[in-house]
């Protein structure tokens, strides 16, 4: 078995990388609000965050959603969104990744769900 210090040294870079990926909200420009309505092309309902591909005009946007547990507790269950559904998403664009946004809220039918 590996000594504890060696194991810690080997695993530390992975934990830092995962932490950076998960807590990158500073990478989204909160001074520019996007409000798009379009068709869902694809949706994933997985941890750490749900994600959907939204066809809006001539672009496909990657929309980062909340964690599934939060979406469920706020009223957005897995079966409410399917490919082909029309939704409205309000959020902030990524500062560096073109065509990516972080959703603050999503409208499904006549229901508004706050994600943050």
| pLDDT tens digits along 64-92 | 999 999 999 999 999 999 999 999 999 99
Is residue 7 domain-resident? no
> How many structural domains does the chain have?
1
> Per residue in 3-15, pLDDT tens?
766 545 655 554 4
- The better pLDDT of the pair 100, 7 is held by 100
On average, the pLDDT of the chain sits at: 88
Is residue 69 domain-resident? yes
Containing domain of residue 100, as a range? Answer: 28-114
Cα dihedral: 1, 14, 48, 87 (round 10): -150
Helix (H, G, I), strand (E, B), or coil: what is residue 114? Answer: strand
pLDDT at 20 over 50: no
Is residue 46 domain-resident? yes
Residue range 100-107: mean pLDDT, rounded: 98
Is residue 41 domain-resident? yes
Is residue 88 domain-resident? yes
- Judge contact between 28 and 49, C-beta under 8 A: no
Is residue 95 domain-resident? yes
Tokens of 86: 């029309």
Q: What is the CATH number of the domain that holds 38?
A: 2.40.50.1010
Is residue 96 domain-resident? yes
The helix or strand, by DSSP H or E, that contains position 63, with its residue range, turns out to be strand 59-64
Is residue 42 domain-resident? yes
Percent share of the chain, pLDDT over 70: 81
pTM for the whole thing?
0.79
């Amino acid at each position: 078995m590996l000594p504890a210090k060696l194991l810690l040294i080997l695993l530390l870079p992975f934990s830092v990388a995962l932490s950076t990926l998960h807590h990158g909200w500073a990478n989204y420009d909160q001074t520019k609000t996007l409000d798009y309505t379009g068709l869902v092309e694809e949706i994933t309902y997985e941890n750490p965050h749900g994600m959907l591909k939204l066809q809006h005009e001539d672009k496909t946007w990657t929309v980062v959603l909340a964690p599934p547990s939060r979406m469920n507790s706020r009223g957005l269950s897995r079966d409410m969104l399917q490919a082909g559904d029309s939704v409205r998403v309000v959020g902030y664009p990524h500062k560096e990744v073109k065509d990516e946004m972080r959703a603050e809220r999503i409208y499904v039918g006549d229901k508004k769900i706050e994600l943050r």
